[in-house]
Structure 1
Amino acid sequence: MASGGGFTPPGPADFDLPPIFGEVTKPMVMIVLSAVLIFALTYAMSRRAAVVPGRLQFAGEFVYGGVRNSIARDSIGSEHFMKFVPYLFTLFLFVLVNNYFGMIPLVQFPTFSHSGYAYGLAALSWLLYNGAGMWKHGVWGYIKHTTVPGGVGGPVLALIIPLEFLSNIVVRPVTLALRLFANMFAGHLLLILFALGGEYLLFEASSSLMNIFGGVMSFVMFFAVSALELLVMFLQAYVFTLLTAMYVAGAVAEDH
Structure 2
Amino acid sequence: MPSGSVLLAADEGFHGPTPDVFKPKSWFEFDLGPIDFYFNKWSALTLFVALFVGGFLWLGFRKATLVPRGLQNFCESIYDFVDLQIAQNVIGERGRTFSPYLTILFCFILLSNVMAVIPVAQFPTTSRIALPMILAAVSWFIFNIVGIREHGAGTYFKDMLVPAPTAPLFVKVILAPIEFVSTMIARPATLAIRLFANMFAGHMLLLVFALGADYLLPKPQFVFGLVSGLMAIALTLFELMIDVLQAYIFTVLTAAYIGGAISSHGGGDHAADHSPIHGHETSAPVTSAAGAVARA
TM range (shorter): over 0.9
Alignment pair present for 1:95 and 2:113:
no
Query: How big is the shift at 1:255?
Result: 6.0
Q: Distance in 1 between matches of 2:161 and 2:183?
A: 8
Structure 2 unmatched ranges of 5 or more: 1-5, 30-37, 267-296
| Aligned residue number for residue 188 of structure 2 | 173
| Aligned residue number for residue 56 of structure 1 | 71
| Aligned residue number for residue 262 of structure 2 | 252
| Aligned residue number for residue 239 of structure 2 | 229
Q: Distance in 2 between matches of 1:228 and 1:8?
A: 24
Q: Distance in 1 between matches of 2:98 and 2:159?
A: 20
**What is the RMSD of the two structures over their aligned residues, measured on CA atoms?**
1.5
- Residues 56-95 of structure 1, C-alpha deviations (whole Å, 9 max, x = no match): 11111111011111111111111x3222122111111111
**How high is the TM-score relative to the length of structure 2?**
0.81
Alignment pair present for 1:149 and 2:163:
yes
Q: How does 1:60-99 map to 2 (within 5 A)?
A: 60-78=75-93, 80-99=94-113
Secondary structure of the structure 2 residue equivalent to 1:7: coil
Q: How does 1:1-256 map to 2 (within 5 A)?
A: 1=6, 2=8, 5-22=12-29, 23-78=38-93, 80-150=94-164, 151-203=166-218, 207-208=219-220, 211-254=221-264, 256=266
Structure 1 unmatched ranges of 5 or more: none
| Aligned residue number for residue 273 of structure 2 | none
Query: How big is the shift at 1:202?
Result: 1.7
Q: Distance in 2 between matches of 1:255 and 1:248?
A: 10
Q: Distance in 2 between matches of 1:255 and 1:10?
A: 45
Q: Distance in 2 between matches of 1:46 and 1:128?
A: 25
Between structures 1 and 2, the one with greater helix share:
1
Secondary structure of the structure 2 residue equivalent to 1:24: strand
AA aligned opposite 1:7: F
- Of 45-54 and 28-37, more deviation after overlay is shown by 45-54
Q: Distance in 1 between matches of 2:137 and 2:161?
A: 20
